[in-house]
Each structure stands twice: as C-alpha cells, then as structure tokens.
Chains A and B, each alone.
Chain A
Amino acid sequence: MKKNILNILSLISISLLIMGNVQAQQWKIDDDLKDARLKIPYDETNIDAGKLIYEKSCKACHRDIVIVDKNDRDLPSAPNLGNKEFQTNNTDGEIFCKISHGNGAGMPPFESQISEEQRWQVIAFLRSFSDTWEAPDASAAPVADKADEFNGQIKAISTSYDSKNNSIVAKVEAIDSEGNTVYPKGVKVKISIQRGFGNLPICDGEKTDDNGLVSISLNNLPPDTAGFIKVYAQVGDGVVKSEADLKISDGWKWENPLDGHHLWGTRDKTPIWLLITYLTVTISVLLIIGWAFFQLARIYNLRER
C-alpha cells in the first residue's frame, strides 16, 4: 500500500515535471507592463498604421480578424484576434509583451523587427475590433479626426489614368451644406483593380488631398491585351462607388504557347525536327522492308519455268 502511494507520488511528480516543460512554452509578461494601457493616442493615424503592420507581419498566421465570442480557429492557424475572450482577458500591456517576446512556440518574438511604437500601433488596430475596450484617457483623440472630417454629402467618385506619373487618380466630388459642388479633403478612398483571381487592392483608406484627389502609382501592373484595366473605387463604407475601364497602354500581344511547334502541342504543331526525324526513320525502315519484300519477288522470278 505504502509502495503504491510512493508510486503514485512519483508518477505525479514526473507528470508535474513534464507539465513544467510544457509551461516553458508560455507567455512571458513583464511585471512593469502587466497593467499598462495603450501608450499612444487611440486615433485613426495609429489604427491605420497598425493595420499596415498587422497585414505585413501578423496576418500570415492570424488571418483576417473577425469579431466572434470564442476563438474559432484551430492549429496550425493562429487564433482569431477578434475573439472577445482575447480582447477582454488581455490588458494592452499583456498584448504588448506577447508581441514582443512571443511564447517560445508558435508565436515568434517581434521586438527586434517591430519598433515599440509600431507594436502599440498594432494594439490600437486590434482594439478597434473590441466594443468593450475603452481608450486609456479622454485626452486621446477619438476614432475619427473630427477636425478633418468633411461636413456635407459625398456625391461621386471618379477615376482617371495619369500617364505622366503612371498612376490612377481618384477624384471625390461632394455637395457642401450650401449646395455647392466641392472636392473635399480627408475622405478615405479605396481602389482596387480587377485581376484574374479577384480584385487587387492598390489603395486601402488613403485620404484625399486639398483638391479631393488620391493618386496611386501603378508601378508595372500589366493591363489586358487591349491596354485596359478595370478600376473599382469607393469612398469610405462603400455608399458611393464607381467602376471604370481605363486605357493605360496601347495593349500588347499575348503569345499563346500552344501556337508554336512544341512537344506539348497538338499534332499539327509537332516540332519540325521531330516530324522530320520520325518520318525519315520510319520511311527509311519501311523502304528497306519494302525492298526485302521485293527480293522475295526476285527469288520467285528465278524459279524453274
């Protein structure tokens, strides 16, 4: 009996040791940051900056953030950071430490890759998915930058191609409170271009300048063979949007790899060298065989008459 108890005890201690090892793969939270709150203003600039960093460094594993009650993703996918458990159970400081140090397992440490300010910006972006979280102090600016916000009704958005800078220019048109047509500043614009497998976003939330314009460089994005690209543009939440086919070049000729003489082509497209080789060899051999049959006839002609 005593021996049994000893056995059980040793088993438990071994289990604890193993679990201790597992515990080693755990979050490291710095004491001074444990209860820290967001150290930068919770404003649109920081949220947008955080979004860009999230898309570059976090999204590959954490994917799109969707607001849910509980984490709905299993390994190997990293948790959905929009889950309410994560949002309520972690202080800003804890999230900061988790980003900084990782957990020694799936989540890598980012402190050497993302600056301190950028880490706070990511947290600001993450917190924009929480409806219970409150910004640290009232002096921090609220979500929208009221001073910049345009008071009036946005009527239209149009796009055009600027061949000099090789860029797409979106122009926002609105009516102010007095009924005049104006080109508002600071309006968020989204632009995407139709590609083979879905639309390619080239601008996600840039704001219009003093003339109501947003200009996005195309770099060397190829148009279709006629020289056109299809551009979708929208303002803010997508109430006002437009689509346009813009001619950006004279077009180009697509060379179908099936058009040439290749091994993978149809019979009509047999490579010439192959056809010549095949026919030469085959016909030569058949000629020799034909000659052999002719010899049979010669033997027959030499018979006794």
Chain B
Amino acid sequence: MRRLRPIISIGLPLLLWEFTSRMGWINNFLFPPPLAIAQAIWLQVGPYGNPPYAVLFHVLRSMVRILAGIGLALAIGCIVGLLIGLTRWGNAIFKPVISIIVPVPTLAWTPVLLLIFGIDDRTTITVVFIAASLTIIYNVVAGAEMLSARVFWVVRSMGASPWQIFYKLIIPGIFPYLITGLKLGVGFAWRALIAAEMLAASSYGLGFMIFDATQYLSMDIILGGMLLIALMGYLLEHVILGRVEARTTGRWGVQVER
C-alpha cells in the first residue's frame, strides 16, 4: 500500500484531468489532456517535429549552457572563496564586493548582459555563472573559515610544504562545504537559466521553448515543457548531485550546516 500511495496521489488527479478535459467539462484548450500533451512532446522529439528533433535540441542547449556556467563558477568560485576565507587581503578586498552583489536578484543582470553580449549564449552562461558562483563562494568561505588552526600548526610543525598543506589539509577540509555549495548552486543556476532563456530569447533552450510557445498559444508544449524543466531540475540537483553528496560527505560522515 505504501508503494502505491505516490502513484495514486499523482495518478488520480492526472486521470481526473484526462477525463474532464476529454469530456469538455474543463476548457480543453487551456488544459489539454495529459495524453495529448505527451503526444505533442513526443512528436517534437522525433524527426517530424518543427524543427526536427526540436525538444532534443532544446534540452541539449540548456544542458550545455548550465554545464559551462557551472564549470566556470566552480573554478572561479573555489579560488575566490579560498582567498576570502584564508587570507586577510582577500577578505578585505573581495568580501565587501561580494556582499554588495549578493542581494541583487540574479536576473536583474540580464538586461545589462543583453546590452553587452547581445542575444548570444554568453548572456545565459554568464547568468548561470553569477547564480552558481555566489553560492559556491559563500559556502567555500564558510568551509575555509572552519578549518582548524591547530591541525594546521601540527602539520606545519611536521615539515609539510605549502603544496602538501594545500592538497592534504585545505582541499579535503573544504570539500563537504564545496559539495553543498555546488548542489545549492546548481539548483539556483537551473532556475536562473530558465528565466534567462525566456528573456534572452535565443534560438534554443527549454526556457525559450515554453516562452516561444506562448506566441502560438500551444498550451500542450508549455505544459509538457514545464514537466521537462521540473524533471531536469530534479535530475540535476537531486539525482546527480545527491548521489555525489551521498558518496562523499554522506559516506565520510561529515555533517554540514545548511
């Protein structure tokens, strides 16, 4: 019974929707039946879509953008975060700047970026970068500040070179916080990406797909696209990064304050 419960509590409303929509009791233009939605999306996935393989291209484009943005954010975020957390000059210079940028909603930067880059992949990737890097920096700083000085003194007194200290003390020390920051950052970055794709009106991308569909009032594409967006967000944040988190911090038993 317990395994059936999620199936029933999700399936029953869907069934109701399908039934009432096909009977015409609810406006079936605004709420097309779920099977019709699935059909429309499936059509767009294959070679008979408009353009061919449309949905695949949209999903791929979004994935490329978010991976590029997150990769950049990881690299730069780690460096800046370590500088802020461990050095006095890094803290003095970077922390005020970051603290001023953080309260700005990420998407407010989109029009400025549109002016600088135009309607280009770089706009969306930069938005993803801003969203993810701020989160990663915040968490890496928290991790770096938590490093124990006593262990550092011990290791140094045993004659460790700076390189060894970096590899064996600092990196493992901040790793749990980095993973948490990465997970949160991916979540924020996905949300920012979808909205940025709607605004930056480029040619492919999940956000663009559902926003473009409003021009043609194709509710089935919109609803199907929303499901895809939710699915991809869940995959990215919980499945992929959840597994990484479970295998690393979960296994090592380090609890991280969120």
A binds B: no
- A-side residues, CB < 8 A to B, are none
